[in-house]
């Protein structure tokens, strides 16, 4: 009789245990599916992307100078971002060498033959595509970037301090815009203030194309930490007048209408 009374209790207890186990298994299954869904990216849309916006600032060194950039990006698909990039760099000529007037005491250094200092502003739009994702939080994600846009060359004329001999035998330094026909290594004392002549800056429009590889590292998914390397091509409709062309010599015009430069940048930013 006691056995028959215990059977229903045992049955109810077994059902309770089974229900709890089923509930726990269901919760684990849901968590696993949710995790897989969050980490699964696709080529069609941005489903599975947790942080869809990106904002970064970077500094860079390139084969002809230095610069900085600013980027704003948004996921188009799980593996691709549309990115707006704006970059400002200085551009030096390969023939730039600092010299001093040996006949003048405490003479200032200057670049002989340099007509203009050049800074380039590059607003562009492009795509950043994932090649390999991070294997874990401490891994590195590899991306390929390509951009196309405008290249605006700002040409600021170079001013120098020129030494003149006065009628009374004394000497006087005057600040003048560099003129290769009038100024030589004998009467140039040195370079004037770098901002002198900024109001005479001219703009030469052109275009730019940039290709690079980005290596992102860091454990915090909300932060962007990356190194990037690649090459940039700036093209203009005429030669950019950085250096003077001395027509009396046999050398061709030293200036070009395009600049091909390699770059390395480090970028920091955030996602949301």
pLDDT in tens, 249-261: 566 888 999 999 9
Instruction: Output the pLDDT for position 31.
Output: 56
Question: What per-residue confidence (pLDDT) applies to 64?
Answer: 93
Q: Where are the beta strands (DSSP E) in the chain?
A: 53-62, 65-75, 80-91, 98-99, 110-111, 116-132, 141-157, 159-165, 171-177, 188-191, 202-217, 223-236, 258-271
Report pLDDT digits (tens) over 125-154: 999 999 998 877 678 999 999 999 999 999
Q: Which helix (H) or strand (E) holds 255?
A: none
The predicted structure's pLDDT at residue 120: 98
- What pLDDT score does 248 carry? 58
pLDDT of residue 251: 66
Neighbours of 215 (CB within 10 A): 13
> How many Å apart are CA 268 and CA 57, to the nearest integer?
6
pLDDT tens profile 8-67:
555 555 556 555 566 655 666 565 555 444 445 555 555 456 778 999 999 999 999 999
In this structure, what DSSP letter does residue 260 have? E
Render pLDDT for 148-197 as a digit per residue (tens, 0 to 9): 999 999 999 999 999 998 888 788 899 999 999 899 888 999 999 999 99
Is residue 81 within 8 Å of residue 127, measured between CB atoms? yes
Cβ atoms 55, 35 nearer than 8 A: no
């Amino acid at each position: 009789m006691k056995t028959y009374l215990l059977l229903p209790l045992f049955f109810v207890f077994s059902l309770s245990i089974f229900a709890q186990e089923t509930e726990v298994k269901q919760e684990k299954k849901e968590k696993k599916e949710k995790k897989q869904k969050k980490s699964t990216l696709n080529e069609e849309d941005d489903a599975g992307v947790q942080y869809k916006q990106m904002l970064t600032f970077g500094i860079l060194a390139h084969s002809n100078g230095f610069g900085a950039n600013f980027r704003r990006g948004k996921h188009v698909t799980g593996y691709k971002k549309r990115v707006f990039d704006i970059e400002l760099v200085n551009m030096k000529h390969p023939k730039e060498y600092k010299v001093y007037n040996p006949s003048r005491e405490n003479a200032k250094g200057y670049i002989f033959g340099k007509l203009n200092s050049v800074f380039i502003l590059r607003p562009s739009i492009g795509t950043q595509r994932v090649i390999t994702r991070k294997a874990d939080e401490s891994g590195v994600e590899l991306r390929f970037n390509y951009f196309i846009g405008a290249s605006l060359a700002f040409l600021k004329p170079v001013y120098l301090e020129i030494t003149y001999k006065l009628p009374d035998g004394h000497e006087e330094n005057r600040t003048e815009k560099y003129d290769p026909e009038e100024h030589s290594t004998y009467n140039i004392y040195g370079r004037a203030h770098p901002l002198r002549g900024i109001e005479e800056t001219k703009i030469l429009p052109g275009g730019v194309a940039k290709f690079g590889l980005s290596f992102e590292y860091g454990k915090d998914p909300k932060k962007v930490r990356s190194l990037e390397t690649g090459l940039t091509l700036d093209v203009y409709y005429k030669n950019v007048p950085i250096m003077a062309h001395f027509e009396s010599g046999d050398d061709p015009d030293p200036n070009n209408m395009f600049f091909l430069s390699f770059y390395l940048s480090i970028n920091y930013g955030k996602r949301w």
